[in-house]
Each structure stands twice: as structure tokens, then as C-alpha cells.
Amino acid sequence: MRVSQRGKRFVVIDDFLDEAKLAAARDMLARPGFAEVESVISPEEDGVAFRAKGIQFRDELSAAGVGGRPGHYEELVRIVHREREFYGEWRADWNRIAFTCWKYPAGSRLGWHNDAGLGRRGEFILFLHESWRPSWGGELMLLDVDPEELTGVEAGSGTPVARMEAFLDACPVSPVAIAPKPNRLVLVKAETVHQIHRVDETAGDALRCTLTGFVSQDVRDPNAPSARERMAEALGVL
């Protein structure tokens, strides 16, 4: 495990899991239960992805990890506790980690958005595919600049996608591209503008596979809109 890159709003950790824990994490990809889902950003342009049923850990978390759970989850919980600059303190700033496995086939992407709201402090992406050629795309692209530094940048009008693209056109900062290297973990602060670059058709049957999670303070309201409605709204807000 080694930190290979660190920016204002992201950290890249390579060789994150040892062989046994990485194999156990990859075993999840072969399990049944992945469902085809449309993008909440732009179904027409992004294409479909495949999502497994997620799991969540809440208040039983401890500073030492979750204990008794699979090793790859424990390692992720430990890194969240360690990166206080990103996620803050457990209990005071967050009390929940949600995990979901995703598969992106050739031709798919997830358009520009941020993950503001819903009590989120940040997210992480662990790449689980066994191999990946640089020409296959699928990079995580992000703006490594704090939101307050972007005050005054014109966001445009129209659909969320149009607003975000106008914002990017006006932004003086160029995005950072992080290649989806196997066994690479990327930590990202909430409200960071980012996208999943389209997986190139030359990837063929290869899938961009990740274990992705959100770190958040549980702010659920029984009278609030559905999770999908809230996510769609949050993703469209700069």
C-alpha cells in the first residue's frame, strides 16, 4: 500500500489490498444479483452500468475498524478513519459508510456531476478489475479545486448536464485524469466535480469494475423524497 498521488481534493493509493483480500473483493464481482441501471445524470448519453445491491455500516463502527467483517471492508473503514482531513471525525462528522459494486461495460460512462448533499463527507473508489489497458479509457476525471475557489464561474442554464458543461467551459482549471489501475484506491472529498470517462469500445468484453462507497452523516428523514429522487437532485447541484 502506497500513496502515489495527493491533491487538494483527492488521494490515490496504489497496491491497496494484499493478494488474499483483493481476491476476496474480486469474488464479489462473480456473484449474481447485478442489475442493469440507467445513469441518473444523462441516461441518453451515458449508457447503462451494472450495480450490485449495496450494504451499509453505521454506528457500530470503531476506530479499529469493523471487526468480524471481510478484510477488504475493514481496510476501507480503516483508511476512512485515518483520512480525517477528508472525512472528518467519526460520530462528529460521519456515522455511515455505504458500499456498492459497479461494472461499466464498453461504451458507458457517468457524466460530469458532484456528489453534494445527503450528508456526504466524501467517497472512495477501489478498482477491482484484474487488468486494464490505458487505451480503454474509464478514467476518473475530477476538478482538484475547492468549491469556494470557483465562486463566480458561470454555471449556465438548462438541464443539469448543460449547466455542468457550461461550468466546465468557463472554469480556468483543467481536470485531473486518474487511470483505473487495478487495486488502486481513490479517495475524493464531497462536492468535487468529477466524471467517469467513457469506456472505449476497444475494451471489448472487459468491464470497469469498482467497489465504491460514500462516507456520510445519516440525515435520513422519513418524509423525504426517495433515495433516487434525492440523488438525482443532488447530482445536478453545483
Helix (H, G, I), strand (E, B) or coil at 12: strand
Q: Give the residue from 75, 68, 58 showing the smallest Cα distance to 215.
A: 58
Strands (E), 17-106: 35-38, 48-51, 55-57, 96-104
36 found inside a domain: yes
150 found inside a domain: no
| Residue 201 · residue 85 · CB < 8 Å | no
Q: What pLDDT sits at residue 160?
A: 74
158 found inside a domain: no
Q: What pLDDT sits at residue 156?
A: 61
* Sign for the pseudo-dihedral over CA of 134, 188, 81, 86: positive
Q: What is the pTM of this model?
A: 0.86
Domain of 68 in residue numbering reads as 2-139+180-233
Determine the Cα–Cα distance for residues 145 and 151; give it in Å rounded to an integer: 11
**Grid coordinates given for 34:** 447485478
Helix (H, G, I), strand (E, B) or coil at 170: helix
Strands (E), the chain: 2-6, 10-14, 35-38, 48-51, 55-57, 96-104, 110-113, 120-127, 140-142, 176-178, 185-189, 194-196, 208-216
51 found inside a domain: yes
Radius of gyration of the chain (CA): 17
Strand partners, 3: 13
| Residue 185 · residue 73 · CB < 8 Å | no
Determine the Cα–Cα distance for residues 173 and 171; give it in Å rounded to an integer: 5
| CATH code for position 211 | 2.60.120.620
Q: What pLDDT sits at residue 166?
A: 81
111 found inside a domain: yes
165 found inside a domain: no
70 found inside a domain: yes
Question: How many domains, in total, are found in the chain?
Answer: 1
Blockwise average pLDDT, block size 10, the chain, 238 residues: 94 97 94 92 93 78 55 91 91 91 97 84 96 97 84 67 80 92 97 95 98 86 45 40
Q: What pLDDT sits at residue 219?
A: 67
145 found inside a domain: no
Strands (E), 69-139: 96-104, 110-113, 120-127
